[in-house]
Amino acid sequence: MKRFQVSGSNSTDLAEVRFRALDWGIQFDRSGLGREAWGGRGEACFTLIELLVVIAILSILVALLSPALSTAREKARQISCMNNLRQLGLMLMQYAGDNDGYSPRCLDPDGYWFMRLTKAGYLDRYFAYVSPAYPDGVGWDNNMNVVTTGLKYLCPSLKKKYITDAYFNYAMNSITFGNTAFGLPSYSNFRKVDSIQNPSARCWLTEGVPSGGGYHVGGNATYPPDYFGIPGRHGGGLLVNVLYVDGHLGLIKRADLNDNRILWGWYSDVDFFGGPDQ
């Protein structure tokens, strides 16, 4: 540990004043001028001004590095979200493989799409949504008991603050994969995954919506400029992770969500359940 002197009284009966800068491992003595004996040897000392200059330089470096660190943290969150979708995609494919090629619907008498996966044993304690009643999240175990601990696959960019309704973790494309809540005959159908042409361009799952119906997305075709209610959790709200039907993942611009017939399918077109898909 170095010792530093601050010029002061030469009185020999003045009590020695020491104060330490613990983070630096430095001790200052008010006992003489500019030099002191340490182990019998004279040593040169830093001045207080020099120390402040070093602190100022370090502060500048921290300020310069902060944006880069923030960008790195956001990229890590986006990758974590994408990995969640990858795992959910593998479960959906396994479910389809075990059920004659059919995907779960967004909503049916068995519940939400993730509840069907949970009942069938593919998923357990999935982080379904946050809400005023469950501000730290809620899910279901394989026995369909409501659980609030040990939840999995949470998007790290899902904001839990200022919740006025349920905010779902991830959502299914209901235009393609059906939703009994709409009361339309076509929405009552289950969809075979291999019946979808251009599966590399069709959304299966994406980021959830902060609403009571946020388990699905795209159900009423188009909401310009609302982007189907998807807030965009990445890239400063400009980017959205998407799981496609063929199992690959993509990061797309939020602005590309609207009026995208290939991404969602279109319930008013013949290629929706009733005709050849595009």
pTM: 0.70
> Using one digit for the tens of pLDDT, what is the confidence trace for 2-55?
444 444 444 444 444 444 444 444 444 444 444 444 444 445 567 888 888 888
On whether residue 276 sits in a domain, the answer given is no
Residue 215, phi then psi, degrees to nearest 5: -75, -15
Is 247 inside any structural domain? yes
> Is residue 271 domain-resident?
no
SS3 102: strand
What does the block give as tokens for 126? 């999935």
DSSP state of 255: G
11 and 123 co-located in one domain: no
- pLDDT tens digits, residue range 110-145? 788 999 999 999 999 999 999 989 999 999 998 999
Are 33 and 108 contained in the same domain?
A: no
Residue 45, classed as helix, strand or coil, is coil
Exposure string over 35-64, b if 16+ CB within 10 A, otherwise e: eeeeeeeeeebeeeeeeeeeeeeeeeeeee
Structure tokens at 190: 């289950």
Residues 12 and 103 in one domain: no
The answer to whether residue 32 sits within a structural domain is yes
The whole-number pLDDT of residue 10 equals 46
Tell me which residue range forms the domain holding 249: 83-264
Per the CB < 8 A criterion, the answer to whether 39 and 72 are in contact is no
Alpha-carbon gap, residue 22 to 248, rounded angstroms: 52
How many domains, in total, are found in the chain? Answer: 2
Reply yes or no on whether the pLDDT at 267 is more than 70. Answer: no
Same domain, 248 and 127: yes
Q: 3-class DSSP state for residue 162?
A: coil
